[in-house]
Structure 1
Amino acid sequence: MKKTEPLASRIRPASLEEYVGQRHLVGDGKPLRVAIENGHIFSFILWGPPGTGKTTLARIYANAINAEFHELSAVSAGKEDIRRIVEVGNSMEPSKGKHSHLQQAGFEFDDLVNNEPPDVKGPKPKVLFLDEIHRFNKAQQDYLLPFVESGRLVLIGATTENPSFEVIPALLSRLRVFILEEFSDEEMMEIISRTGFFLDDKASSWLVEMANGDARQAITMIENTARLYEVVSLENLKETLQSKFLRYDKKGEEHYNVISAFIKSMRASKPDAAMYYLARMLEAGEDPKFIARRMVIFASEDIGLAQPTALVVANAVFEAVRSIGMPECVHNLAHGVAYLANAPKDRSSTSAIGKAIEDAKRSGNLPVPMELRNAPTKFMEELGYGKKDENATDDLLPKKLSGRKYFE
């Protein structure tokens, strides 16, 4: 294979007809399909796991609105890169006609799907695809804001992190957020079949399980295996997995292996192992906020009632990481990891909410016991709101769930 363009790029779908997955967004009548088919112009964020088609959707959308497409990574880009994109060539100014509301910030998405597509004439709109938008700091996001607000840039942000945590409110309020899901096993099989390489059933099944819904990971594995061995067999795939081609990166399999080892080491109260995996992630360039956020989750999920102050410590570590940054926040992370790993563990609250959610889903809107109901009016008091029912049980649960125990 002498082609230098990555396989994932060479087989990238150019239209929705070729696109696999995300039917909740691009199926018939779904919001992104409606926007793409009708050329609606607006800014949005694509939030989802790695390798779920965010870049592909951005390119398909930009092509649909006949836009200039500019791609930046927030890891390495800055204000100067944005300024150059805005200033070079012609930018689309906000429309003065009947569709000007489509260019303004803060519109409702319903405005798009219920109106005729804008008749854009003159200069092409400029689409800025900003990968890992969560890595832009507040000042950089503030710099973006007026260009998005005026329509000089159509922003498409891609992120694996919850945008409500990482995108400033002023910018987020001007963006529609679309949530992408991991590809199913069947969708992964279809994507693998499009690579042009033959894989037997065992190799395909192993690759789908290894990639865990990440299409880019699967395609890269196939490409690297073909470069090394020409034949993409199960044995050769496994050999490639051990090679330098798949060293740790924030979108690769090792990313998930190491964060899993990190969490499980703290869960097992092994501070030395947890500290090692923390170091592995930091040395590989992992976002420290990603690590700290998972520590906050761990404090409630695994330590819980055994040591409630763990959540206070984990939150303090997260705030320190956010305000101090690398490299000094390494000390805050190490402090937090040592504390969490050494803390006693109790998953009773995690287990309890899991059982309660199952009951809530299965049982629906069960009547709340009368004594627990609010009685803001005289009429409601007369109906018995706020008064104890003689036939009610003492556990305060709806009658149908009486006696149910979530905490064993």
Structure 2
Amino acid sequence: MQPTETLHLRQVEVGGNVPYTVEVGPGVLSRARVEARQIALIHDEAVPQVWIDRLSAALSPALLLTIPVPQGEACKTLEVLAGVLSKLAAANLPRDGAVVGLGGGAATDLAGFAAASYLRGVAFYTAPTTLLGMVDAAVGGKTGVNLPEGKNLVGAFHPPRAVWCDTDTLTTLPPAVFREGAAEAYKHGLISDPSLIDRVLAPDFVPGSATFTDTLADAIAVKAGVVTRDLLEAGERAYLNFGHTLAHALEAVTQHAVPHGDAVGYGMHYAALLSKAQGGEDLTEYTRAFLRWQQPAPLPTLTYDDVQPYMARDKKADAEGVRFVLLHALARPYLTRVPDAVLREQFGVWQVEIWGGGWLGAVDYTP
């Protein structure tokens, strides 16, 4: 484990009808406080025991039960959800109890949906232990599970009472998992705060560095600001889905062999190509630079027809078809429909770069 950085904490406020605070920095799990006499802790089974122990000690003596769930997207199923709900009921967690989610973004999505569903809603607190979870899943109140037909098709808006982003937990992540999570932080740079673009790719964007907590908190603040203004995705919140239309399709078609952050890296490059094709500034060098840095999991050879049905089920789609988040320029996102001919043409350009250009070094595999 790397040394803990000098104590430096940041708080990011999320406003709206249900305001809450995101605490960011080392040792935050030890500071966790929950206003409930009985608590259920739902955690990703891959979370190191040291972080489970740290949070459990902070929640004691109110901790009623601990429920491990499968790692990653494997936990976001109706079957796992049903099992969790049954355990909450068997333990007789009361209406004034609380659910705490600990782990990656998938585990906290599941825990939040369990909290939203059990007894028609109990208090929810979340402690993400991955960079992806901190920057994206833990903030904004979106909870849910997947269906075979697509990602996040079942869920609810259920904002947490508090979010604890303990940067110490990131020191135990494999490097590839850390780089995966950086995709959402980099995306926030493209759509809102361009200063994050260089900061995310800088050598000191590592847990424990003097600047890490501030960069992480600033990336979180982008999402916090958006969801404060648009919790239910009536408008601006859709911009947070830059790169996600193809990303979710890649996850689905590979049965999640390609993790979310890696899929977002690929998806951002496709969205940048579409943005350019639709008359926007050419931002593809930014997305290429990120992919070179991220080195995402390799993709199987895919055609446009492989991914199009999944893109058609994207949550931004409406009765008239698929909509994409594109960029006029840095920090100037917009939501629009793109003609199918353009989608197919630019997918071909994307294909050539990903598999034939050699600049990324990806190889084919069978998921």
Bin of the TM-score, shorter chain as denominator length = 0.3 to 0.5
Higher RCO structure (Cα 8 Å, ≥6 apart) = 2
Which TM-score applies when normalising by structure 1? 0.33
Which protein is richer in strand relative to its size?
A: 2
Which TM-score applies when normalising by structure 2? 0.35
